[in-house]
Structure 1
Amino acid sequence: MSRLIVISNRVSVPKAAGAAGAQGGLAVALNSALREHRGIWFGWSGQETAEFTGHLDMQRNDDVTTATIDLEPQDIDEYYNGYANRTLWPLFHYRIDLTEYDRNFGEGYERVNERFADSVLPLIEPEDLVWVHDYHLLPLGSILRGKGVKNRMGLFLHTPWPPTRLLASLPFHERLVASMLEYDVIGFQTTEWLESFMHYVQKEMGLKVNLDNSIDYKGRRVVARAFPIGIDYAEFTQAAASDEAGAAYKALKSSVRGRKILIGVDRLDYSKGLGERFEGFARFLSDHPDQAGDAVLLQIAPPSRGDVASYQQIREDLERKTGHINGAHADVNFVPIRYVNRGYPRAQLAGYYRAADIGLVTPLRDGMNLVAKEYVAAQDPEDPGVLILSQFAGAALQLKDALLVNPHSSEHLAETIKRALDMPLEERKRRHSKLLASVREEDVIHWREQFVRALAGKDRNRDAGKEGAAGDLSHDEAA
């Protein structure tokens, strides 16, 4: 069996046996694959160094080997805070108004990708499979090819892929996409993002897309496919059944004194639609005063990327909105929005999910969104809550029995909240049963196995001739 080399911006070092704390589902799945394939997980340590040396910090925990490098402050500013999170992230989430184009950002991005390549190169053996993750490292495969790596390499993009006319606003967009075509497999979260990518390579690069979702490029065949990511269902349901989850459930239920609970759990990010969510809830409170005092929104939003100005702004905006809405609708015994800027352990979150009558997952744009799937997995099948899900989340293509909503419309969101609160038990159970089947069957292990199989070249013709394959696209994408 070939070894697996996983490369990502950051590395999740496995917990030593008996160590406290739990890892996320993605880390659990990748660590499992690394154990099976005797692999290595390589990336940035998250630490700064005064001068880049390329020194590798090698560790082995729980039978998984990790290798990390430190970066200079200029690298972090230009590559991570700059090009990754002020250029690519907003552009890929359709926020061209927040996208910053700075030559120094682009130079830092290429420099750090070059440093990643130089550092990981000595670790790659001839038969290894190389799996690169996300928008931070799009050109890494091309750089490794230039250094003589002939291994099979794959890229998985966790974010959306923007429409062609949006991507064309990015300076040197052709060069960036051409570098991605040096991978053997390119994976996307959904067919929507896959079709956007295929549209670009056809319209902007003049390439032909074959019926098996492959692209012929410079004498090589590149396979592009959708691989929807899931949660670690077994691990999460175990956490949901724990004493910690049970205590969290009881504490939250007790604190609301019989009121209905709506829950949102999101990293503090403008793509998550938190401001629009608060406005939709406020519209519900105003339009339905008979129910307004019986519903509480718990919004958990851990801060992120505090060095980026747009993230500082979203936090200030949400704090202002929370104060305004609570001031207008609260009384001495009731506050409608509980807004919390901190994270919680997975088991505790599972208890909060189970206690909530409605899961509000309303991003403006999201590659997938695993909170939606965690909410479904945490519910009591005999008395499940209702998932309200943005139609613009990748998860909406799988979780069709959620109540799909347009997060830009406060009126639509308000009416959907009322519909969820009024939904009869039998309808809730029917919808939840179908949602749970999807979450259980298409979990993170399934996702990982499907991608690694494609990367190993074992199912190249899987989609040949299938209806709906992203072949020659006859429609013109809307920007």
Structure 2
Amino acid sequence: MTTPSAGETYDFVVVANRLPVDSVTQPDGSTGWRMSPGGLVAALEPLMKASDGAWIGWPGAPDVEVEPFEHEGIRMVPIALNEQEIEFYYEGFSNDTLWPLYHDVIAQPTYHREWWETYVDVNRRFADAAARVSDHGATVWVHDYQLQLVPGMLRESRPDLTIGFFNHIPFPAYGIFSQLPWRQQIISGLLGADVIGFQRVADAGNFTRAVRRLFGYETKGSRVWVPVGDSSDATTGDRSHVRGAPVRRVIARAFPISIDATSYVELAKDPSVQARAKQIREELGNPKTIMLGVDRLDYTKGIGHRLKAFGELLAEDKVSVEDVTLVQVASPSRERVASYMQLRDEIELTVGRINGDYGSIGHTAISYLHQGYPREEMVALYLAADVMLVTALRDGMNLVAKEYVATRADLGGVLILSEFAGASDDLRQALLINPHDIEGVKDAIMQAIGMPESEKRRRMRALRKRVLENDVVKWSRVFLEELAGATTAHPVSHEHPDGRK
């Protein structure tokens, strides 16, 4: 680990809630860092290593004051958060207000002014750090719903910067988004970016509709014309502006994220990973069919829906515990948020009931694992699984579906995929389901179990072609090319989409 020089600036800066590293205690008792798992880290790690850039983020623990450092070729700029800021900004506004709202109010959002005020303060700290470490004319790429005010704040303090924003979660329809008391401030903050990326075309459409409804700005397709010098403020939502003033063009469109597919392909070839996959099957009693669910323990993932469907199939004697086993990996998530604590209790109660009703001494219906695993173990699970269950009620993308497909060079396995996950736009050869339709989920499970090998191979071949051709390298390249093209010399004009001056 090396420490960059004080005052060092960079041409390319990523701003995200978390740094892509976790703190670890070494065998000698010293503290070090290791690259952390997760969708955003997996997506950006290759790009950051290939570029001379810096990553701004929170180290993941309260009151951790760390100087900037370098780890595995990535320059880290830590942002310290205290206990109250974590409670109000992260657990509160980000994950108990925005997260449920943006996921179609699957759970009821909570609105507290104190949370909002802290969200503004923390976003300001991230924006100030980005302004401080960015070269003149640098590109800054801001990520996700925790930092939606940062683009507007940066635009105000550093108009020389090229600013991109990518929203990793869904963006809701206006009828839902309009419930947010600070809706204008959020839209104003996002419009500070030159390019705003979303997972799905529908998400981008929801955003541009919100812009028209709240600000009256003109839009055409993916383009939004934002008045320059407009006194909109990302913290107050003041949207006064003069019609006919110079305009700045903002692009808002879909850039479906993907995975570092090559790394998963290579891991799946590893003899030790393949041996572990065989061992997993043996440890489960060599059932005819292993079904797998891999999720954060989150109410958006539809874990309860898949458990209900499997439990009913067992109750109806359509499957037996001797022949079919479900492995459910539910990694811990936001464990101090009340709705997540309640969800864990409900899921574990359901798992216990199903195992108690249908398990036997030698066979367990559901192997439930409430812990995270390294990538090698996950790939072994993917190789061991005959059926992958992705039953999200609402999901920006769901990279697990793409990871499963990438590992299956044997063209084995069947992907059951919720139509409410962004991945369903790409992975059309999966068995697409509405997770709320329990009978439909049951039918898909039975179809997957009984699917002929020729059909499995045909579907998986098409799925793998899609994933391998559209990997994370292409995703980042396409986004950054759009960003470079949209901001050449930061064009500003009086021209509107209909050609009026």
Structures share a fold, TM > 0.5? yes
Task: Report the 3-state secondary structure (helix = DSSP H, G, I; strand = E; otherwise coil) of the residue aligned with 1:130.
Answer: strand
Structure 2 counterpart SS, 1:371: helix
Which of 4, 16, 19 is the equivalent residue of 1:8? Answer: 16
Look up the match of 2:149. Answer: 139
- The alpha-carbon deviation at position 380 of structure 1 amounts to 4.3
Q: Is the 8 A contact 2:22 2:60 kept in 1?
A: no
Within the candidate set 437, 440, 443, 1:415 is matched to 443
**Match of residue 71 from structure 1:** 81
For the pair 1:338 / 2:367, whether they are aligned, the reply is yes
1:212-237 Cα shifts (integer Å, max 9, x gaps) = x1100111100011111111011111
Deviations 1:19-64 (A, max 9, x none): 98775564355233334431111111223229xxxx6621112332
Residues 123 and 446 of structure 1: CA distance in aligned 2, closer, same or farther (over 3 Å): same
CA distance in 2, matches of 1:35, 1:119: 21
Aligned residue among 418, 422, 428 for 1:390: 418
Judge conservation of contact 2:56–2:77 (CA < 8 Å) in 1. yes
Letter in 2 for 1:4: F
- Corresponding position: 1:40 with 2:49: no
By how many angstroms is 1:100 displaced? Answer: 0.4
Match of 1:31 among 45, 51, 54: 45
User: Which amino acid is 1:367 matched to?
Assistant: G
1:158 matched to 2:158? The reply is: no
% identity of equivalent residues: 38
TM-score by length of 2: 0.86
**Highest RCO, 1 vs 2 (Cα 8 Å, sep ≥ 6):** 1
> 2: distance between equivalents of 1:378 and 1:285?
29
Deviation at 1:241, TM superposition (A): 1.8
Structure 1 residue 118, shift from structure 2 partner? 2.3
- Taking the aligned partners of 1:310 and 1:244, their CA distance within structure 2 comes to 39
Aligned partners of 2:356, 2:307: CA distance in 1, in Å?
13
Partner of 1:465: none
Match of residue 431 from structure 1: 459
Structure 1 gaps of 5+ residues are: 461-470, 473-479
- TM-superposed CA distance for 1:206, in Å, is 2.4
Give per-residue Cα distances to partners, 1:50-84, cap 9 Å, x unaligned. 9xxxx662111233211102112111111001100
- Secondary structure at the aligned position of 1:91 is classed as helix
Segments of 5+ residues of structure 2 without an aligned counterpart are 1-9, 25-32, 228-246, 489-496
Q: Report the AA paired with residue 8 of structure 1.
A: A
Change (3 A) 1:21 1:115: closer
Match in the other structure for 1:255: 283
- Are 2:405 and 1:376 equivalent residues in the alignment? yes
Matches of 1:148 and 1:200 in 2, distance apart? 26
Residue type at the aligned position of 1:429: R
Distance apart, 1:180 and its partner CA? 0.8
Query: Which stretch of the first structure deviates more once superposed, 83-92 or 326-335?
Result: 326-335
Paired letter, 1:277: R
Structure 1 residue matching 2:61: 3-state secondary structure: strand
Question: Which residue number corresponds to residue 58 of structure 1?
Answer: 68
Distance 1:457-1:47 versus aligned 2 partners, 3 A rule:
same
- Residue 167 of structure 1 corresponds to 177
Q: Which amino acid aligns with 2:126?
A: F
1:201–1:458: structure 2 CA closer, same or farther, 3 Å change rule?
A: closer
Is 1:22–1:346's contact at 8 Å kept on the other side of the alignment?
Answer: no
Paired residue secondary structure (1:270): coil
Q: Any idea what the Cα deviations from partners look like across 1:347-391, whole Å, max 9, x if unmatched? A: 111111111110001110000001101111122435x11000011
Shift of 1:344: 1.1
2:355 equivalent in structure 1: 326
The number of residues matched between the two structures is 454
Partner amino acid for 2:175?
A: R
157-166 vs 67-76, which deviates more?
67-76
**One-letter code aligned to 2:54:** I
Equivalent of 2:124 in 106, 114, 118: 114
CA contact (8 A) 1:21 1:345 kept: no
CA 1:244–1:205: 2 relative to 1, 3 Å: farther
Aligned Cα root-mean-square deviation (Å):
2.4
